[in-house]
Structure 1
């Protein structure tokens, strides 16, 4: 599997140098290559490699900031995708001084349709919070979905790979007008960002997001989608108010029976197949969110629970059979430890039946 950092191959760096050389013939492509792949390159991770490339560009492009930006602007349509994050990063490295602020704001929006400026805008929020948030509110009215998304994504308090915006983690109210302006956005790309932003906020301020959800829910199909996606962490935690908002009420007349594992011992790399019956004795269909929780054995001999979604639909009166599986294939984000594991079925946030199995040593 290719790692993000491996995208920065010699071929990509040579291509970048040649693309920029078209618009700035004085650029020394060999010098650029040598600067990028200088000592220590192999040890650098993804974000550090972006910064190395940015610093190398700073040395080979004109010292005049505006002239350098104009060259990058001309080449930008040929440099699309996550691997070209060093283009907006050029602004973060070279453009945070007060006399460069307005030019930097302009070019963050120029570059973001090609390679998102969501990381590069964050130092400006931290250094110039009031006027940067004013710019971001203006971006919510752009006809370009990439610029509208930048307003939401760039101000996310816990943006993955990005510097945390500590003030917004403590008090997210300054960003709420941006999210409110985008709550019915026609672009799914933008709506996903708004939902992810609200999901971030819910981790520190669940009641704020729930209050907002209650106010917004039912206004527009796009807004309903945002609220549903934004509430996924609250739903996964079984937050009663979040469950109730979407019609998942505590069920006294719904039971789980016949929880069965296809085996009680499995090896790393295999799938655990299991099934159970949903028994609805309420006399009418019930909206049920079914999840299961795996208690993974840790190195210290204790279990760490991880919850997974199973189904989310209306269940008829009577008995319904559910069968699914959980993979124990090796993945980079989880290390498996041998020993006793547990499987628990969750119905509308309530734990029900549990079974145990053993993950065998390699």
Structure 2
């Protein structure tokens, strides 16, 4: 089983920062880039939280603008793998007030890496609403979304 430093390494954080910078108009990803230097000794969960918070700091606070940056990043084939995990967690934090649009974004991100833990805050916040939105995913053509 891969270790935390193999899944979310300084290199993967640098790659994430590059993807966000390329995707966002004026995004520097300064906070995200800086995370790579402080990962040593952190567990996977601690790494995810650190990177998630850096992504939240680097991207717009306004949910539609935040989502636009991530959708632009999805056009970049380098935006994939374990770097996506803290990004989906950032969507869960920033998107609870934009419930359905945030769930839709998680479905878009899922083919790059799972968003299985990122959907949980939506399920806790409003189970019926989340299930109404997510139930059609069971017939989605992409098995990662299903």
**Fold match, TM over 0.5?**
yes
Q: TM-score of the superposition, structure 1-length normalised?
A: 0.37
Report 1 or 2 for greater relative contact order, CA contacts < 8 Å, sequence distance ≥ 6: 2
Q: TM-score of the superposition, structure 2-length normalised?
A: 0.85
Which residue in 2 is equivalent to 1:67? 65
Per-residue CA deviations over 1:214-245 (Å, capped at 9, x if unaligned) read xxxxxxxxxxxxxxxxxxxxxxxxxxxxxxxx
How many residues are paired up? 144
Contact residue 84 and residue 109 of structure 2 kept, 8 A: no
CA distance in structure 2 between the partners assigned to 1:142 and 1:2 by the alignment: 30
Unaligned runs of 5+ in 2: none
Q: Are residues 1:147 and 2:136 paired? A: no
Contact residue 87 and residue 115 of structure 1 kept, 8 A: no
Q: CA deviation at 1:108?
A: 1.3
Which residue in 2 is equivalent to 1:24? 24
Per-residue CA deviations over 1:26-49 (Å, capped at 9, x if unaligned) read 222444322x2476x434211221
Q: CA deviation at 1:136?
A: 2.2
Q: CA deviation at 1:113?
A: 0.7
Contact residue 8 and residue 82 of structure 2 kept, 8 A: no
- How much is the aligned-residue C-alpha RMSD, in angstroms? 2.1
Q: CA deviation at 1:54?
A: 1.0
Is the alpha carbon distance of 1:28 and 1:126 closer, same or farther for their aligned partners in structure 2, counting shifts above 3 Å? Answer: same
Which residue in 2 is equivalent to 1:114? 112
Any residues of structure 2 matched to 1:85-124 within 5 Å, and which? 85-97=85-97, 100-124=98-122
Which residue in 2 is equivalent to 1:79? 79
Per-residue CA deviations over 1:111-170 (Å, capped at 9, x if unaligned) read 11111111100111111111111222211122222211xxxxxxxxxxxxxxxxxxxxxx
Is the alpha carbon distance of 1:134 and 1:31 closer, same or farther for their aligned partners in structure 2, counting shifts above 3 Å? Answer: closer
Q: CA deviation at 1:90?
A: 1.3
Moved over 6 A (4+): none
Which residue in 2 is equivalent to 1:15? 15
CA distance in structure 2 between the partners assigned to 1:3 and 1:10 by the alignment: 13
Q: CA deviation at 1:63?
A: 1.7
Rg bigger for which structure?
Answer: 1
Is the alpha carbon distance of 1:2 and 1:19 closer, same or farther for their aligned partners in structure 2, counting shifts above 3 Å? Answer: same
Q: CA deviation at 1:5?
A: 3.5
Q: Are residues 1:126 and 2:124 paired? A: yes
Per-residue CA deviations over 1:73-108 (Å, capped at 9, x if unaligned) read 2213422223421121111121123xx111111111
Per-residue CA deviations over 1:182-231 (Å, capped at 9, x if unaligned) read xxxxxxxxxxxxxxxxxxxxxxxxxxxxxxxxxxxxxxxxxxxxxxxxxx
Q: Which has the higher strand share?
A: 1
Is the alpha carbon distance of 1:38 and 1:143 closer, same or farther for their aligned partners in structure 2, counting shifts above 3 Å? Answer: same
CA distance in structure 2 between the partners assigned to 1:64 and 1:17 by the alignment: 19
Q: Which has the higher helix share?
A: 2
Contact residue 92 and residue 121 of structure 1 kept, 8 A: yes
Contact residue 21 and residue 27 of structure 2 kept, 8 A: yes
Which residue in 2 is equivalent to 1:223? none
Aligned partner of residue 26 in structure 2, secondary structure: coil
Give the counterpart of 2:47 among 31, 38, 49. Answer: 49
